[in-house]
């Protein structure tokens, strides 16, 4: 029987010889998780108590040392203000995607854009849809995904935070087209990586490839552009996460599908200085911004 302190110090020493290096912070998080605690403060105030769940701690430590993403091991990932449950059926929410929703929020508030009906297509963990519901509780939020296993995760996050949105199962825009819903805002972070070499081994080995890889990296955007008149209100905003190398090809596609004069678009960079976002608006005279953080 060891105390939390002894376990921490022993683990720290034992892992020195391992291939995967893990920080003190990760050991703390594994301990907090194994003991069902809520914070670092709770951990250190109980540091000299006996570790109640050594098996859980050891099992999870082994997974981390094997290279599994910490978020899947702990079953949790932060998304701005929300703590979300995640498993390997959904992509782990990325900081870039936090950027996408912050961007949409800023665009809506700077320009007083309509946001009564918002859809998040390819919702995965539900991060975008649930955050929008959190920010705009009076809006109708629709979250779609092709995979039931992903929707189960999103639903559990919805219950956990009491953020109720309309979940719909189906490919790309199919559920929205079938129910004749008209949107003010469409947000999507679809699978857009076309080149397998662009996918990091930890992502390839553990995250669902259907959320990352697409044989045609533009397939989802084409579908959105082709159908925009059917699914969007006259005044609309569409906001997408895109791959760093898609600016040119997407510009061509926009030229092909958006002929109305009151449509405008903008590409914005992420925190890593890569073009990562595409915003398209219709019917608004939008004040765009270059720097959004
Ligand atoms: N940015 C993700 C990654 O790093 C990919 C997300 C996506 O394809 N939508 O793998």
Which residue has a Cα nearest atom 2 of ligand 1?
212
Average pLDDT, the chain: 95
Residue 187 falls in which region: left (phi positive, over 0), alpha (psi -120 to 50) or beta: beta
Rounded mean pLDDT of 261-268?
92
Residue 260 — very low, low, confident or very high, per pLDDT cuts 50/70/90?
Answer: confident
pLDDT score recorded for residue 112:
92
pLDDT over threshold 50, residue 89: yes
- Separation CA 85–CA 74 (nearest Å): 9
261 CB-near residues (< 8 Å, 6+ apart): none
- 86's CB contacts (< 8 A; 6+ apart) are 71, 72, 75, 76, 77, 92, 93, 125, 153
Could you tell me the pLDDT band of residue 286, with boundaries at 50, 70 and 90? confident
Number of CB atoms found within 10 A of residue 276's CB: 25
DSSP code, position 35: T
Between the CA of 190 and the centroid of ligand 1 the distance, in Å, is 8
Give the pLDDT mean for 190-209: 96
Query: Around Cβ 249, how many Cβ atoms within 10 Å?
Result: 14
The whole-number pLDDT of residue 290 equals: 55
pLDDT score for 289? 63
Q: Is the CB of 189 under 6 A from ligand 1?
A: yes
Q: Give CA–CA dist 182/169, Å, rounded.
A: 17
Pairing of strands 232-241, 183-188: parallel
User: pLDDT band at residue 1, thresholds of 50, 70 and 90?
Assistant: confident
Kindly tell me if the per-residue pLDDT of 267 is higher than 60: yes
Angle between helices 54-66 and 24-34 (to 10 degrees): 140
- The answer to whether residue 239 scores a pLDDT higher than 90 is yes
How far, in Å, from the CA of 189 to the mean position of ligand 1?
A: 8
Can you tell me the mean pLDDT for 72-100? 97
In degrees and rounded to multiples of 5, residue 113 shows phi and psi of -75, 150
pLDDT greater than 90 at residue 78: yes
- Helices 127-135, 148-161: axis angle to 10 degrees equals 30
> Is 94 touching ligand 1 by the criterion CB < 6 Å?
yes
In this structure, the residue with its CA closest to atom 5 of ligand 1 is 212
The predicted pLDDT at position 21 comes to 80
Q: Specify the pairing of strand 140-145 against strand 117-121.
A: parallel
Confidence (pLDDT) at 293: 43
Stretch (H or E) spanning 61: helix 54-66
Query: CA 286, CA 202: separation in Å to the nearest integer?
Result: 39
**Does any ligand 1 atom lie closer than 6 A to the CB of residue 191?**
yes
- Please give the average per-residue pLDDT across 140-168, as a whole number: 98
CB 274 less than 6 A from any atom of ligand 1: no
> What pLDDT band is residue 56 in, cutting at 50, 70 and 90?
very high
């Amino acid at each position: 029987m060891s105390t939390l302190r002894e376990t921490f110090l022993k683990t720290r020493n034992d892992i020195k010889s391992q291939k995967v290096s893990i920080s003190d912070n990760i050991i703390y998080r594994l301990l907090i998780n194994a003991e069902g605690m809520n914070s670092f403060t709770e951990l250190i105030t109980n540091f000299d108590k006996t570790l109640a769940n050594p098996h859980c701690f050891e099992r999870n430590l082994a997974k981390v040392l094997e290279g599994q993403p910490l978020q899947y091991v702990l079953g949790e990932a932060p998304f701005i203000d929300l703590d979300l449950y995640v498993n390997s059926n959904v992509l782990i929410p990325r900081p870039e995607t936090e950027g996408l929703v912050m961007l949409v929020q800023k665009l809506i508030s700077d320009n007083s854009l309509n946001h009564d009906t918002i859809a998040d297509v390819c919702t995965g963990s539900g991060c975008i849809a649930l955050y929008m519901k959190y920010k705009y509780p009076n809006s109708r939020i629709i979250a779609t995904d092709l995979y039931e296993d992903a929707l189960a995760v999103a639903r559990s996050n919805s219950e956990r935070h009491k953020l109720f949105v309309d979940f719909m199962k189906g490919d790309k825009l199919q559920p929205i087209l079938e129910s004749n819903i008209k949107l003010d805002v469409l947000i999507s972070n679809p699978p857009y990586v076309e080149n397998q070499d662009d996918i990091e081994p930890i992502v390839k080995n553990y995250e669902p490839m259907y959320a990352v890889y697409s044989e045609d990296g533009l397939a989802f955007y084409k579908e959105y552009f082709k159908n925009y008149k059917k699914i969007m209100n006259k005044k609309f905003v569409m906001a997408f996460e895109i791959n760093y190398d898609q600016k040119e090809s997407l510009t061509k596609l926009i030229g092909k599908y958006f002929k109305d004069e009151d449509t405008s678009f903008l590409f914005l960079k992420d925190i890593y200085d890569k073009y990562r976002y595409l915003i398209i608006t219709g019917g608004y005279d939008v004040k765009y911004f270059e720097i959004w953080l």
